[in-house]
């Protein structure tokens, strides 16, 4: 039997309130389950490998066959607890080391602040 090939997808969360690691997992896993059902979600093999609360980004591990399913489910997420939420995938790689390097890039911070100011008028809503 062949070993399952995994991919690591870096995902960024932009919201007026901070997203925790637990919330990030439930947002994406819940949407995959809602769209593809329990059986489809089981085939995806989604797992949150790493989350950076400072940069509001996470690394999700999944089967290489299910990358397109996860990316498709990202398109349907617009709100979380009645707050607007923007999620986008940045990088897909086969090693977690490369994914962490990409997540830690400094160029992201400028883009993140610009998009957040534009979308939410720089109003931070507390938890």
Residue 1 lies in a domain: no
User: CB-based burial of residue 92 (10 Å sphere; 0-12 exposed, 13-18 middle, 19+ buried)?
Assistant: middle
Domain count of the fold of the chain: 1
Residue 60 lies in a domain: yes
DSSP H helical ranges for the chain = 21-44, 67-74, 96-103, 107-120
Residue 126 lies in a domain: no
pTM for the model? 0.83
Which residues 6+ apart lie within 8 Å of 117 measured at CB?
none
Residue 116 lies in a domain: yes
Collapsing DSSP to helix, strand or coil, 48 comes out as strand
> By the 8 A CB rule, do 83 and 19 touch?
no
How confident is the model over 30-81, as pLDDT tens digits?
Answer: 999 999 999 988 999 899 999 998 888 999 999 999 999 999 999 999 999 8
Q: At 72, which CATH number?
A: 3.30.70.3250
């Amino acid at each position: 039997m062949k070993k399952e090939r995994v991919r690591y997808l870096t995902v960024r969360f932009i919201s007026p309130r901070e997203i925790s690691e637990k919330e990030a997992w439930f947002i994406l896993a819940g949407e995959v389950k809602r769209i593809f059902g329990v059986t489809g979600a089981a085939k995806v093999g989604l797992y949150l490998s790493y989350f950076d609360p400072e940069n509001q980004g996470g690394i999700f591990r999944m089967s290489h066959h299910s990358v397109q399913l996860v990316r498709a489910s990202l398109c349907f997420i617009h709100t979380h607890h009645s707050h607007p939420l923007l999620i986008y995938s940045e990088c897909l790689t086969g090693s977690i080391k490369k994914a962490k390097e990409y997540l830690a890039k400094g160029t992201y911070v400028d883009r993140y602040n610009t998009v957040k100011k534009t979308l939410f008028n720089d109003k931070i809503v507390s938890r």
